[in-house]
Amino acid sequence: MFSDEGLFHYTSLFLLLSTPPTVISLLFLSAPYGKHHRPGWGPTISPPLAWCLMESPTIWLTLLLFPHGKNNGNPRAFLLISPFLLHYLHRTLIYPLRLYLKTRNGKIQKPGFPVSVAMMAFGFNILNAYLQARWVSEYADLEGDGWFWWRMAAGAVVFCSGAIVNVWSDNVLMGLKEGGGGYKIPRGGVFEWVSCPNYFGEIMEWLGWALMTWSWAGFGFFAYTCANLVPRAGANHKWYLDKFGEDYPKNRRAVIPFLY
């Protein structure tokens, strides 16, 4: 019979092996939503609904799985899973709700979100929620880890810094789109360094998570996040340069300050 340990092992391996083809494919083909929306990807739904549905497995599946692990009564496990859940509570509920309110009031006009892309994200989030929840609740040796609090503190600083950048950047981008008038050049804060500080912030969050969990599951998620967001940031950066030309700041990088 196929054991949960075997399933966890092969799911972790799948995540790691799928990272290189993901980054290669996204270097040549940008996912067709947001700035890169284009026809030919089937039916669409509203972006707020898409974000809510495709991110939701990280909440309900984590909450379903967590009580069934050996660490479910360990305060360290609750503390460790909290940043993961807090990030996705924001992505599943708060961010889509804010987006819905602004689109309903006519402050932001957004094209439809392809159902096909949302379903792919939904599938990934099921896989990833299983990996992260089972690692923390079952496979992590929390009591025997003498470095737990040091890694938790260091990772939390990185994670929280990234979360602040991520949420702040989303607020700036939403504010720029209010009142119509099309896309504008975002300015101020981390936007003076990179075109996509929202992606940079999320990359920082999952680097912090990898440090906190100190696991293949955590580092696999961080690597996949980079594979997904770094090429998209490069495509966004090129889009800004093409659209605004000489008006766009030449010293900005795409996503990693001073590097790329």
Instruction: Give residue-wise pLDDT tens across range 43-61.
Output: 999 999 999 999 999 999 9
Most confident of 7-11, 155-159, 186-190: 155-159
How much of the chain is in helix, strand and coil states, percent to nearest 5?
A: 70, 0, 25
The pLDDT value recorded for residue 39 is 80
The pLDDT value recorded for residue 41 is 84
Summarize pLDDT for 112-165 with one digit per residue, the tens.
Answer: 889 999 999 999 999 999 999 999 999 999 988 889 999 999 999 999 999 999
Return the percentage of the chain with pLDDT > 70, whole number.
95
Contact predicate 140/80, CB 8 Å: yes
The pLDDT value recorded for residue 180 is 63
The pLDDT value recorded for residue 145 is 82
Summarize pLDDT for 82-102 with one digit per residue, the tens.
Answer: 999 999 999 999 999 998 887
Taking Cα atoms as reference points, which of 207, 65, 212, 61 lies closest to residue 142? Answer: 212
- Per-residue HEC secondary structure of 75-102 comes to HHHHHHHHHHHHHHHHHHHHHHHHHHHH
The pLDDT value recorded for residue 179 is 59
Q: For 184, which DSSP code?
A: -
Average confidence score pLDDT of the chain: 91
Confidence of residue 223 (pLDDT cuts 50, 70, 90): very high
CA distance 27 to 255: 14
Contact predicate 142/74, CB 8 Å: yes
